Structure 1
C-alpha cells in the first residue's frame, strides 16, 4: 500500500489545476452569456432555428438562402490611424461575401424578405482575416441571447393548432420589453427595392486598437452609394422568387456596386454590451473605406457556400467586446456550421439539392 501514496499525492497536486481550468471555462461561458436563468446553450438556439420550418440538410440553419459576392475593399485616407489592422494600410484587400435572406428555407422568395444580411471575409496579405456579419436592421431584437431565444421559441407553431400561441409571445414581451421596439421597426420600416441600395449594420460593438494601443469602441455599417428606393409591396408580390438575385446580376453587369464602411464611435454612457439600443445619430462617425463588389455567383457551388462568417474572427487591431449577443452569435454559427458539414459528409442532402 505505501506505493499508492505518491500517486494519491500527485492527484492532490492536480486538483488545484483542474479547479483553475474549470474556473477559466466558467469565466468564458459567463462572458459569452451562456450561463443565465435559462441555462441557454448554442445547441438549443440552433435547434429552435431548425424547428421553425421544414428541414433542409446541408444548409445554414438561419439565412439559408444566399448569393456569393466577390470584390475588394479599399481603405480611406487616414484609416490606418484608426487601427493597426492591415486591412486599413494595404492598398486593397480581396473580399469574399454573401447576401442572404432570413429564415431556414433556401428556396423561399427573396422579394418578400424584410430583413437582409451581408457577410464578408477580408483576407489581407499577411494572412489575417476579418469576418463581418451584418444585417439591414438598425438594432438587434433583444439585449440578451435569452431574450432572442424566447422570441424565436414563441414563434414556433403550437402542435395543437399549427399556429404560434399569442399568449407565449405576450409573456416574452413582458419579460423582454425591448423586443416590441424591434417588432414595430420590422412592421413599419420601408424595405429597399434592391440589395444594391440596402444599408447593412453591424449592431454589435467592437474595439479598434491603434499603434499607440489606444482603444476606441465602435459600431460599423456598410452604406450604399446607390440611392435608396422603397419597394412597392404590391409590385413585389408579382415578382419572381429570385427577384433580388436577378436585380443584383443586372446591376453588376452594368457597373460595380459600392458601399462605404462607416465607423460610429461610442460616447461615454453609450450602451456597449446591449445591441438592442442604437447609439444616437449625433455620435462621431468616420469613413474607413469602400467596399466594391464586381460579381455575384449562386451559392450552390460558389466560394462562400462553406464559409462560416463568425463575427469574432478578427485581425490584430480589432477586438470584440463582452456583448453576450456577439459571443452567442459566434457560438451559434459554429454549431450550425458543424451540423451542416456533418450532414454533407454523411450524404444526408435532399434529393436534387444543390445547397
Structure 2
C-alpha cells in the first residue's frame, strides 16, 4: 500500500464509496453542467490582491455546477452537497481556478483523516430508524439517521454519522451535509471554497483569506416535505439563462490572528471582515457540454501570481488527486501555475 502514490489512493478511496461509479468519469461530482460567463472585479479588489482577475477588466469564466455524488444517476432532489468550479481565463492562455461547494466546512483535517472517513462512508443497505430510536439519538445529542428516499437501497449516512460521533472535528461538516437539502436552482445556493488561501496586495501585505460565492438571486431550497424530483437542475438553469443572466458575488473573508489557517474543518468567526471582490455573470449554458462539463479540468491549486495555497494538508493533497482524476478520465489538463513552491516544481517538470 505504501508503494501506491497518495493521489491514486485518494481517488480509489472516493470511488470505492460509490459501487455504481462509471469508469472514465469524475470520482465525485460526477453529474455536472457547464456554463459560460464573465467576471468583473470590484473597485476595491485590486487594493487587496494583485491577481490578474482582480484588476477590474472583464475576464471570461467557465463554470461547472454539479451534484456531489459519485454515482452516474442524477438525483437532483436528494439531500446532497453541490459544487461550483470556476475557471478564470487569463492572458496568454493562463487560468486560475476556484473550486467551491455548498458545504461551509470540510470533515477531514488531514489525509489520514480523509482515508478513515471514506472507509466509514461506504454504502450500506439503508434502514429506517424507529421514532423511539430517533428520540434516543436526540437525547444523546446525536443526529438521527435520515429516512431513506423512495427507491433508495444504499446509503453512507449511517457510517458518516458514526464517524462524526467518534471524531469531533468532523461533526460540523457532517451535520451541515446532512441538513443541506436540495437547491431550487444551482444559481440559488451559496458555495464555499472551504480552504484558506494567501493573497498578496500591491503594498506587499499578505493576508489569509477564504472565498465564497453568494447568489444575487438569494438562497432557496426545495420543500423538504415534498417528494424529491430526480432531474430538474439542468433544465432549470437552461430556462433561467434563456431569460436573464445569473449573478454571484465573490466574497473574500479576511482572517485574523488565532483563526484556523491549515484546518478546513474549523469555521472562522462570523464577525470577520468580508470584502466584495467582484461579480460573476453567467450568460448561457455552454454549447459543447463534453468540453465544458466532462473534459474541462479544475484544480484548487491552479493559482496565478497574487494567490497562494495555505499550508492546509487537505488542499495540497487535492492538487495531485485532481491531476490523477483528470488523467484517468482523459480530461483536458492545463499546467498548474502560481507562486507556491509546489506549483513552481510542477511547472519545471
TM-score interval, smaller chain:
0.7 to 0.9
Larger deviation: 44-53 or 61-70?
A: 44-53
Q: CA deviation at 1:303?
A: 2.4
Cα-to-partner distance string for 1:80-102 (whole Å, 9 max, x where unaligned): 11111111114110001200111
Cα-to-partner distance string for 1:204-248 (whole Å, 9 max, x where unaligned): 0001111232101100001000122231134352x3x32111111
CA distance in 2 between partners of 1:157 and 1:287 (Å): 40
Return closer, same or farther for 1:169/1:136 CA change in 2, 3 Å cut-off. closer
Q: CA deviation at 1:65?
A: 0.4
- Per the alignment, residue 42 of structure 1 pairs with 7
The structure having more radius of gyration, on CA atoms, is 1
Question: Is 1:210 matched up with 2:192?
Answer: no
Q: CA deviation at 1:68?
A: 0.3
- Per the alignment, residue 252 of structure 1 pairs with 241
Question: Is 1:153 matched up with 2:119?
Answer: yes
Question: Is 1:131 matched up with 2:97?
Answer: yes
Instruction: For 1:77-92, list aligned pairs within 5 A.
Output: 77-92=43-58
Instruction: For 1:191-340, list aligned pairs within 5 A.
Output: 191-237=182-228, 239=229, 241-297=230-286, 300-340=289-329
- Per the alignment, residue 142 of structure 1 pairs with 108
1:64 to 27, 30, 36: 30
CA distance in 2 between partners of 1:187 and 1:171 (Å): 13
- Per the alignment, residue 344 of structure 2 pairs with none
Return closer, same or farther for 1:199/1:264 CA change in 2, 3 Å cut-off. same
CA distance in 2 between partners of 1:57 and 1:336 (Å): 11
CA distance in 2 between partners of 1:163 and 1:91 (Å): 48
CA distance in 1 between partners of 2:100 and 2:299 (Å): 11
Larger deviation: 185-194 or 108-117?
A: 185-194
User: Is this contact kept in 2: 1:101–1:113, CA < 8 A?
Assistant: no
CA distance in 2 between partners of 1:117 and 1:48 (Å): 19
- Per the alignment, residue 39 of structure 2 pairs with 73
User: Is this contact kept in 2: 1:312–1:327, CA < 8 A?
Assistant: yes
| TM-score of the pair, normalised by structure 1 | 0.78
Return closer, same or farther for 1:61/1:211 CA change in 2, 3 Å cut-off. same
Q: Which runs of 5+ in 2 are unaligned?
A: 126-152, 332-349
Cα-to-partner distance string for 1:23-80 (whole Å, 9 max, x where unaligned): xxxxxxxxxxxx9xxx982212211222222241221111100000110000101211
CA distance in 2 between partners of 1:279 and 1:288 (Å): 19
Count the aligned residue pairs: 302
| TM-score of the pair, normalised by structure 2 | 0.79
3-state SS of paired residue (1:308): coil
3-state SS of paired residue (1:149): helix
Q: Which runs of 5+ in 1 are unaligned?
A: 1-34, 343-355
User: Is this contact kept in 2: 1:75–1:91, CA < 8 A?
Assistant: yes
User: Is this contact kept in 2: 1:154–1:164, CA < 8 A?
Assistant: no
- Per the alignment, residue 20 of structure 1 pairs with none
User: Is this contact kept in 1: 2:249–2:278, CA < 8 A?
Assistant: yes
Q: RMSD of aligned C-alpha atoms?
A: 2.7
User: Is this contact kept in 1: 2:42–2:277, CA < 8 A?
Assistant: yes
Cα-to-partner distance string for 1:295-332 (whole Å, 9 max, x where unaligned): 11477524242122101000101111110010111121
